[in-house]
């Protein structure tokens, strides 16, 4: 790596989208965690995902500090591997999982089951069996039909602690496809139409189920705290109604996740302390208004812990200038990052490893797959002399990339490499053709 003086990325023009450890050298390279991104591309190939371990740990710590009297559980769906499980346990976070697979992976690391929350609008029999076998701390009931199904499987003589996911009827989130707190979608049970109250009554009649609280998740990429405050007010009012109707005071409230991160310079991304202050203060005042004790509060950050710690590395395969536009095609695409195709996600892109004095040109970065919608980044500024072989870095790539990766065109899912203290290590190896072939048992 170059020995030229390094400048913090924040001293340039993108202070919010790169890990805090990111530095840039005059030679055109960027280092994260003390490791050159260009060198990582050479060593591990591309596409590759780089995860700054220290950044992820620091963000986990920030969430814990924002909710000192509550519980923070990491939303595993954003990205999960064995190293991340260990990091989250070491930083004092729980895990929010959505499948038997995520549960089993946590079990391989000895993660305390009582600090695991199981979600899902359609939990399979295997999901429930695995959760009960491992003894997860909370199962979040998302529909009326799973109440009796779950109760019938709980082994005696004990009971399973459950929560009910309620819909507060609030529109919040960066795109309509990731708004989950409003009426008329697949998640949760409506407070307004009585479904949530009916589910609570049924659970209270099941001796094998112990109702410990309510759960609420508004959506994703929520860039202000007020929707959470309004959700707290509505859910606490519902809790007061349950007390008056059934004589039960629920001791827990889980407000889910959905906290925004910056994908482009200038994107709003409030600090965990901002969300923590508004949610905690609103909870205290709402409980005082209704004469309720303040329940133990849980939040479930995922994206906001891991997204800013991740960087995707691609290599340019071709450059096409046509119709007044420039298309830069890379060796990845929607198979390792489906978010732009799913809901128009935007990204910052930077060339690394080669200095240039060429002027910048508005460019579209596209993937290698057989879909016109395989576009990774629209209208990004890249040097006019961009050419095949160049390496592109995409920051804020830690969440919902590898975890949502597919096998489209049998290109194989990319590896994940951790960096810290000037060293790199493989966390998840690249999927190869032998992996793909071994699943094909048709002959």
According to DSSP, the residues that pair with 395 across neighbouring strands are: 311
Half-sphere exposure of 409 (CA within 13 A, CB side): 13
- pLDDT tens-digit profile of 5-52? 445 555 444 457 999 999 987 789 999 999 999 999 999 999 999 999
- pLDDT tens-digit profile of 407-430? 999 999 999 999 999 999 999 999
176 C-beta neighbours (distance < 10 Å), count: 11
For 150, list phi and psi in degrees, rounded to 5.
-70, -45
Q: What is the mean pLDDT of residues 45-64?
A: 98
69 C-beta neighbours (distance < 10 Å), count: 8
CATH number of 53-306: 3.20.20.10
Which is catalytic among the residues 98, 216, 287, 370?
370
Q: What is the mean pLDDT of residues 58-74?
A: 97
Model confidence band, residue 1 (pLDDT cutoffs 50, 70, 90) = very low
- pLDDT tens-digit profile of 110-140? 999 999 999 999 999 999 999 999 999 999 9
3 state SS of 435: helix
Task: Look at residue 401 in the predicted model and tell me its pLDDT.
Answer: 97
Model confidence band, residue 186 (pLDDT cutoffs 50, 70, 90) = confident
98 classed as catalytic: no
Q: How far is CA 377 from CA 221, 274, 344, 346, in A?
A: 18, 30, 9, 6
Instruction: Tell how many helices (H) and how many strands (E) occur in the chain.
Output: 12, 22
Model confidence band, residue 176 (pLDDT cutoffs 50, 70, 90) = low
Displacement of CA 134 from its chain's centroid (Å) = 24
State whether CATH 2.40.37.10 applies to domain 7-52+308-438: yes
**What gap in Å lies between CA 346 and CA 340, rounded to an integer?**
7
Q: How far is CA 403 from CA 44, 144, 160, 378, in A?
A: 19, 29, 29, 22
- SS3 per residue for 294-339: CCEEEECCCHHHHHHHEEEEEEEEEEEEECCEEEEEECCCCCCCCH
State yes or no: pLDDT of 342 exceeds 80. yes
What are the structural domain ranges in the chain? 7-52+308-438, 53-306
| DSSP at 225 | S
Helical residues (DSSP H) of 351-431, grouped into ranges = none
State yes or no: pLDDT of 217 exceeds 60. yes
State yes or no: pLDDT of 361 exceeds 50. yes
Model confidence band, residue 172 (pLDDT cutoffs 50, 70, 90) = low
Model confidence band, residue 173 (pLDDT cutoffs 50, 70, 90) = low
Q: What is the pTM (predicted TM-score) of this model?
A: 0.93
Model confidence band, residue 180 (pLDDT cutoffs 50, 70, 90) = low
Burial of 95 (0-12, 13-18, 19+ CB in 10 A): buried
According to DSSP, the residues that pair with 49 across neighbouring strands are: 312, 416
State yes or no: pLDDT of 178 exceeds 50. no
């Amino acid at each position: 790596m170059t020995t030229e003086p390094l400048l913090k990325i924040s001293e340039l023009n993108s202070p919010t989208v790169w890990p805090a450890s990111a530095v840039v050298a005059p030679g055109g390279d960027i280092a994260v965690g003390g490791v050159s991104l260009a060198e990582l591309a050479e060593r591990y190939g591309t596409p590759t995902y780089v995860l700054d371990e220290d950044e992820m740990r620091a963000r986990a710590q920030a969430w814990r500090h924002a909710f000192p009297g509550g519980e923070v559980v990491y939303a595993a769906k954003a990205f999960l591997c064995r190293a991340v499980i260990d990091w989250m346990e070491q930083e004092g976070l729980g895990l929010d999982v959505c499948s038997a697979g995520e549960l089993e992976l946590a079990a391989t690391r000895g993660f305390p089951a009582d600090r695991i929350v199981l979600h899902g609008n359609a939990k399979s029999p295997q999901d429930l069996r695995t959760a009960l076998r491992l003894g997860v701390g909370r199962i979040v009931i998302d529909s009326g039909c799973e109440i009796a199904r779950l109760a019938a499987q709980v082994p005696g003589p004990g009971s399973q602690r459950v929560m009910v996911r309620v819909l507060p009827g609030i529109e919040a989130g960066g795109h309509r496809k990731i708004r989950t707190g409003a009426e008329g979608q697949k998640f949760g049970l409506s407070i307004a139409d009585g479904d949530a109250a009916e589910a609570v009554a049924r659970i209270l009649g099941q001796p094998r189920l112990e109702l410990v609280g309510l759960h609420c998740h508004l959506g994703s990429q929520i860039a202000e705290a007020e929707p959470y405050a309004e959700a707290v007010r509505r859910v606490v009012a519902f809790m007061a109604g349950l007390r008056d109707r059934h004589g039960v005071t629920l001791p827990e409230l889980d407000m889910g996740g959905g906290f925004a991160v910056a994908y482009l310079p200038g994107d709003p991304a409030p600090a965990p302390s901002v969300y923590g202050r508004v949610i905690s203060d609103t909870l205290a005042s709402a409980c005082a208004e209704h004469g309720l004790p303040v329940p133990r509060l849980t939040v479930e950050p995922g994206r906001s812990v891991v997204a800013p710690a991740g960087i995707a590395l691609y290599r340019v395969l071709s450059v096409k200038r046509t119709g007044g536009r420039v298309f830069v095609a890379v060796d990845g695409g929607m198979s390792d990052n489906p978010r732009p195709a799913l809901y128009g996600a935007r990204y910052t892109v930077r060339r690394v490893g080669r200095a240039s004095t060429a002027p910048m040109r508005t460019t579209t970065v596209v993937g290698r797959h057989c879909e016109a919608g395989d576009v990774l980044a629209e209208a990004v500024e890249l040097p006019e002399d961009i050419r095949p072989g160049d390496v592109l870095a995409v920051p804020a790539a830690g969440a919902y990339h590898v975890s949502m990766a597919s096998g489209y065109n049998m290109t194989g899912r990319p590896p994940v490499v951790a960096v810290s203290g000037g060293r790199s290590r493989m966390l998840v190896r690249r999927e190869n053709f032998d992996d793909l072939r071994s699943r094909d048992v048709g002959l």
